[in-house]
Chains A and B, each alone.
Chain A
Amino acid sequence: MSLTLLYNDQIRQVASREVGNDTWIPAAELAALTGFEFKPEGACYGDVCIPLLPAQGEAIHTDGEVNLQAVAAKLGQGLVQDDDVISLGPIAAVRQRFAQGQAPDFDLVDREGQPVSLSLFADKKVILMTWASW
């Protein structure tokens, strides 16, 4: 079936395969969504790798596919599913840099459709200011 995945501000359609209560998707799709790479040593974000050691009888990562629920559990990632839409919460290993004081980068677009990232302003002081109409 086709699944809609939500993570940060991204929306991604992926092909999926249901096995029991688990959802298997191509590892490359999840990598593209979260920035994690799936290697023999585990799920890696930069030089940080989180082992994906399966419990007895469990399968997490095989033949280029990953078990979405199992990976989310290993990464400590909240997961909420409504039929064919799955929303993935933050990954602690990614937010760790924020906890150490590094400003998280982002990829948004301005009203003219131009991409804007914090890293564009790396040599400047930045005042990042939220507001809302509500």
Chain B
Amino acid sequence: MVIGVAEDTGGEAAAGQFIDAANSTYVQLIDESHTISSLYNLVNVPSTVWIDEQQQIVRIDEGSYAEKHEMPGISFGRDDYVTLVRDWMERGADSAYVKDPLAQQHLRVPTQDEGLAEANFKLGVYFQQHGQRAKATQYMDEAGRLNPASWNYHRQNWIFDGEDQARSNWQQRVAARAGNHYYQPIAGVDDLT
């Protein structure tokens, strides 16, 4: 089963057209408060969690694109991601692509700052949805300050200032990431960059 989750505070108006265009047969959800990213400690999209029949996490990937993407100054994704997923579907725990999930740094409780960032972000979402942009950006900015690794917080915040501004902010922040991964590779598993 595939469950697609749009991390979109803008809701149906923002995400609906893409879901319509995908015309998918799988489950599609719109998660306005980014609750899935909170629960699974995800800081960027697209991210993918592999969950087995016992509802145990067997893998988490950031940057789970179906093909490699090359952009100026940054590249991400891999061409064989679908092959990896299919292998797991067929072989289950025997798949070479399932690794000890506890070795993945994702599986941990949030730090104090990350927890406070989450509370601030959700307050920002609340004000955004109540038409109070100044307060929304105040709390989303604070979320991004407390958890700077969360591209979700930054980018969700920026988009409400317009696509051009959001793109410019993104390009600046990507350029300034100075050796840090845009998508974290999985420790001991492989090198998604």
Task: Check B53–A90 contact: CB distance below 8 A.
Answer: no
Given A130-B45, A130-B46: A8 in contact with B5 (beta carbons within 8 A): no
Task: Check B6–A116 contact: CB distance below 8 A.
Answer: no
Task: Check A110–B107 contact: CB distance below 8 A.
Answer: no
- Whether B156 sits at the interface, judged by CB under 8 Å, is yes
**Interface 1/0s, chain B 1-29, versus A by CB < 8 A?**
11111111010101110110000000111
A118 vs B3: C-alpha distance in the bound complex, in angstroms?
A: 9
- Whether B119 sits at the interface, judged by CB under 8 Å, is yes
Given A110-B27, A134-B166: A101 in contact with B135 (beta carbons within 8 A): no
- Whether B52 sits at the interface, judged by CB under 8 Å, is yes
Task: Check A78–B118 contact: CB distance below 8 A.
Answer: yes
- Whether B178 sits at the interface, judged by CB under 8 Å, is no
In the complex, what's the smallest C-beta–C-beta distance from A132 to chain B, in angstroms?
A: 5
**A108 neighbours in B (Cβ, 8 Å):** 5, 29, 31, 35-36
A92 vs B122: C-alpha distance in the bound complex, in angstroms?
A: 17
Task: Check B37–A130 contact: CB distance below 8 A.
Answer: yes
In the complex, what's the smallest C-beta–C-beta distance from B3 to chain A, in angstroms?
A: 5
- Pick the residue among B89, B116, B126 that contacts A78 (CB under 8 A): B116
Task: Check A119–B47 contact: CB distance below 8 A.
Answer: no
- Pick the residue among B5, B115, B158 that contacts A89 (CB under 8 A): B115
Task: Check A9–B31 contact: CB distance below 8 A.
Answer: yes
A133 vs B8: C-alpha distance in the bound complex, in angstroms?
A: 7
**A6 neighbours in B (Cβ, 8 Å):** 119, 122-123, 126
**B156 neighbours in A (Cβ, 8 Å):** 132, 134
Q: Chain A binding site: helix, strand, loop or mixed by DSSP?
A: mixed
- Whether B38 sits at the interface, judged by CB under 8 Å, is yes
Task: Check A101–B110 contact: CB distance below 8 A.
Answer: no
Given A82-B123, A87-B126, A111-B19: A127 in contact with B39 (beta carbons within 8 A): no
Interface residues on A, range: 35 or more
Question: Number of contacting residues on B, CB 8 A?
Answer: 72
Task: Check B38–A129 contact: CB distance below 8 A.
Answer: no
- Whether A95 sits at the interface, judged by CB under 8 Å, is yes
- Whether B101 sits at the interface, judged by CB under 8 Å, is yes
- Pick the residue among B29, B50, B102, B115 that contacts A90 (CB under 8 A): B115
**Interface 1/0s, chain B 151-186, versus A by CB < 8 A?**
010011011000000100000000000000000000
Task: Check A134–B8 contact: CB distance below 8 A.
Answer: yes
**Interface 1/0s, chain A 1-20, versus B by CB < 8 A?**
00010111101000000000
- Whether A88 sits at the interface, judged by CB under 8 Å, is yes
Interface residues of A (CB under 8 A from B): 4, 6-9, 11, 76-80, 82, 85, 87-90, 92, 95-96, 98-106, 108-111, 116, 118-119, 121-134
Query: Can you offer 15 A-B residue contacts whose CB atoms are under 8 A?
Result: A9-B31, A85-B123, A98-B41, A101-B56, A101-B57, A103-B49, A103-B57, A105-B55, A108-B29, A111-B12, A125-B88, A125-B92, A130-B6, A130-B7, A132-B155
